[in-house]
Amino acid sequence: MRSSFPEAEVTRSLSSNLVKYFFTSLSQDEEKRVIDSNELVRKRLAMILEDRPGAEGEGGFVSGLGAVDVLEASESGGNIIKARDEAKEILDQARAEAEEMLAQAMNKSLGLAPPILYLCQDMEELDLYGTVDTTLCTLDSLNHLPGKEALRRTLHRVWLFTEPGGLFLFDMNTPEKHIRRLNGSTYLRETEEVCCIWQNTLDPQDNSVGIELDFFVGEGGERYRRYSESFREYAYPKEEIQALLEAEGFRLLGLRGDYTDGPPSPEEERIIYIARRE
């Protein structure tokens, strides 16, 4: 997926911790304040270029988005980011971040009884080393699985490690959200420490959304580093989700609209599924 912003060499990183920190640190008022459309972002970039002639540099990226003001100056006077794009570095950092998160969680739960089992696994290969009474899956995690077959395999693994009569509760973004809200949209979010540009591109063939996140994080002084992450979310009608659940041995007990007590509306953007293992 290509960015609609000017090209730049960037350091690529699966910045999961940064995503979680940034999107949970904003208050509701701040979140409303910093959402822009594609057109507004383009206008703000144009305004910066008008105010600072030559700021685009040679093959550079101009931020001009409040929190990101001064990057690394090029010889031509423009602001650029020098970085690398190496697949091995991406995977190594992703593993390191996951291991660090698990280590912190383990340290915080030392001495608890019974002890907590922390695992870092592919959802399609889930192995809990025993059965559980309830499985809870949130934050649209199942939407990130690469297609319906991957979702089916994950549902089967959850069924396998759930006690008969046990519950499986999860949320999923809906096709309506992809089509009505995310389709072609760009969100701009800023704080004192970081700026995030979040771009979405809809694939009309399967209503999946390609998501591209660019973070600009202050490193002290007037220097910022860019971190980027790209992934794709898939969404399915609730009838298809119910059919998959039933095929894997679950019975759908009910649906809720986006963390409410009521049923989902026809335009619901997130649905909570409540299922029981038969």
DSSP secondary structure string, 121-168? --GGG---SS-EEEEEE-TTGGGGSSSHHHHHHHHHHHHHTEEEEEEE
pLDDT at 103: 87
| Average pLDDT of span 138-147 | 94
pLDDT at 84: 36
pLDDT in tens, 242-254: 999 999 999 999 9
Question: 177: which DSSP letter?
Answer: I
Q: What is the H or E stretch that residue 209 is in?
A: strand 208-218
pLDDT at 47: 54
**Higher pLDDT residue, 27 or 96?**
96
pLDDT at 95: 76
| Average pLDDT of span 49-76 | 36
pLDDT in tens, 252-268: 999 999 999 999 999 99
C-beta pairs of 197-205 under 8 Å, 24+ apart in sequence: 197/5, 197/41, 197/65, 199/3, 199/4, 199/38, 201/1, 202/178
Length of the chain: 278
Q: Which of 41-50, 134-143, 224-233 has the lowest mean pLDDT?
A: 41-50
pLDDT at 102: 85
Confidence band for 43, pLDDT divided at 50, 70 and 90: low
Count of other CB atoms within 10 angstroms of residue 35: 13
| Average pLDDT of span 168-194 | 94
Instruction: Output the pTM of the full model.
Output: 0.67
